[in-house]
Amino acid sequence: MSDDKPQPGSGNSRKSWAQKLLQAFTGEPTSREEFVDMIQDAEHRDLIDLDTKEMIEGVLDVAELKVRDIMIPRSQMVTIEKDATVEEFLPIVIQTQHSRYPVVSENKDHIEGILLAKDLLAFGFGLVQQPFSLEQVMRPAVIVPESKRVDALLKEFRSKRYHMAVVVDEYGGVSGLVTIEDILEEIVGDIEDETDDEESRSDIRKVSNSKFLVKALTTIEDFNDYFHTQYGDDEYDTIGGLVAHTFGHLPEVGETVTMGELHFKVTAADRRRIQQLQVTIPSE
C-alpha cells in the first residue's frame, strides 16, 4: 500500500518563505496598510528576511508611483548633439560611461533619437566600411508622459524590449528621462556596476574640509571610526537608522538634525529609507 505522507527531506515538507508568509496571515488584509503591517510582522518573526521584506514593500511602492517620481530630471540628462562628430562626442561617452544617450538637435526639447554606446564598437574596430553617421546609427526615442504609472512602464520595457524612455510634461516639453534600472532600484535598492568608480562606491566621501557625503547604510562603527564620534550601536546598526530615529519620523530630502557636534542633512531618500546624508563639522 502506498504511503501518501511526504518523506523527510522531500520537497513537499519544505515550505517556501511565501508559504510561511501566507500561514502567518490570520485573515485577509483589507487595506494596503494592513498588508504592510503583516509583512513587517512576518519579518519580525523571522518568516522572511529584511531584504525580502524591503523588496515586497518596493513592489508595493512601485504600484503607486508615477514616472515623474523616479525620472532623471532634465538638468541631469547627458545628451549628444545630432550634428556632433565622433571626435566631439566620444569624450562625453568615455567620461560618463552611460550605455544610452539622447540625441538632440536644437535643445533638450528636440530629441531626435537614442544612441547606444555599443553601436559605436563596429565603427571603432573597422567592421563597418561606410562613414559614420549618427543619424543612421541612433535608435528611435520612446516618449512617455510624466503621469504614466511606473508599473505599467516596467511592463512596457519588458514586452517591447527597450530600456530608456524620454519623459514629457503636459505641454510636450522634455522634463527628464527614465530607465529600466531606475525602476528596478525602487524595488531592490541602488544597483552599482563595474563602471562606478571607487569614490562613488565609498561609504564616506569628503566634499570639503567641513562637509562629507555619507551613505545611510554606513555602519555606526565605521562612522565612529571615521569621525571619531561615539554614537551607540546597540539599537541601530547604520547611521541612517540612527538619524531617522533622532528625527522621530522618516525625513524628507532637505531636512536637518544635529547630533552632538555634527549636523546632518538628508540629501537622498525614498518612501522607505534615508539613502544619503550630508555631514557637516562646525567650524571652531
The gap between the terminal CA atoms of the chain, to the nearest Å, is: 86
Q: Which pLDDT does position 4 carry in this prediction? A: 47
**pLDDT band at 270; cut points 50, 70, 90:** confident
pTM, rounded to two decimals: 0.57
C-alpha cell at 137: 546609427
Query: Where is mean pLDDT largest: 6-15, 239-248, 275-284?
Result: 239-248
84 lies in the same domain as 148 = yes
Split into its structural domains, the chain has a count of: 3
Tell me the pLDDT tens digit for each residue of 27-73.
Answer: 677 777 788 788 888 888 888 887 788 788 888 888 888 998 888 88
Q: Which pLDDT does position 24 carry in this prediction? A: 53
Tell me the pLDDT tens digit for each residue of 230-265.
Answer: 998 888 889 999 999 999 988 888 899 999 999 999
**pLDDT band at 21; cut points 50, 70, 90:** low
Tell me the pLDDT tens digit for each residue of 104-153.
Answer: 998 889 999 999 988 888 776 665 667 777 888 899 999 999 999 999 99
- The domain boundary, picked from 8, 41, 64, lies at 64
DSSP three-state, residue 279:
strand
In this structure, are residues 183 and 157 in contact, taking their beta carbons and an 8 Å threshold?
Answer: yes
**pLDDT band at 284; cut points 50, 70, 90:** low
128 lies in the same domain as 151 = yes
CATH number at residue 244: 3.30.465.10
57 lies in the same domain as 87 = no
Range of the structural domain that residue 89 is part of:
69-188
DSSP three-state, residue 173:
coil
273 lies in the same domain as 162 = no
CATH number at residue 141: 3.10.580.10
pLDDT over 70 (residue 267)? yes
d(C-alpha 4, C-alpha 6), whole Å: 6
Look at residues 271, 276, 244 and name the one whose alpha carbon lies nearest to residue 60: 271
Percent of residues, the chain, with pLDDT higher than 90: 32
224 lies in the same domain as 240 = yes
Query: Where is mean pLDDT largest: 60-64, 193-197, 227-231?
Result: 227-231
Look at residues 9, 70, 60, 1 and name the one whose alpha carbon lies nearest to residue 35: 60
112 lies in the same domain as 180 = yes
- The domain boundary, picked from 132, 153, 188, lies at 188
185 CB burial (10 A radius; 0-12, 13-18, 19+): middle
Q: Which pLDDT does position 10 carry in this prediction? A: 45
Establish if 9 belongs to a structural domain. no
Half-sphere exposure of 63 (CA within 13 A, CB side): 7
Q: Which pLDDT does position 53 carry in this prediction? A: 81
**pLDDT band at 11; cut points 50, 70, 90:** very low
Stronger pLDDT, 196 or 98, i.e. the higher one:
98
Q: Which pLDDT does position 277 carry in this prediction? A: 92
Establish if 101 belongs to a structural domain. yes
Q: Which residues contact 176 (CB under 8 A, 6 or more apart)?
A: 68, 71, 72, 73, 74, 76, 77, 167
Cβ–Cβ contacts within 10 Å for residue 119, how many? 15
Q: Which pLDDT does position 126 carry in this prediction? A: 60
pLDDT over 80 (residue 220)? yes
Cβ–Cβ contacts within 10 Å for residue 248, how many? 8
**pLDDT band at 166; cut points 50, 70, 90:** very high
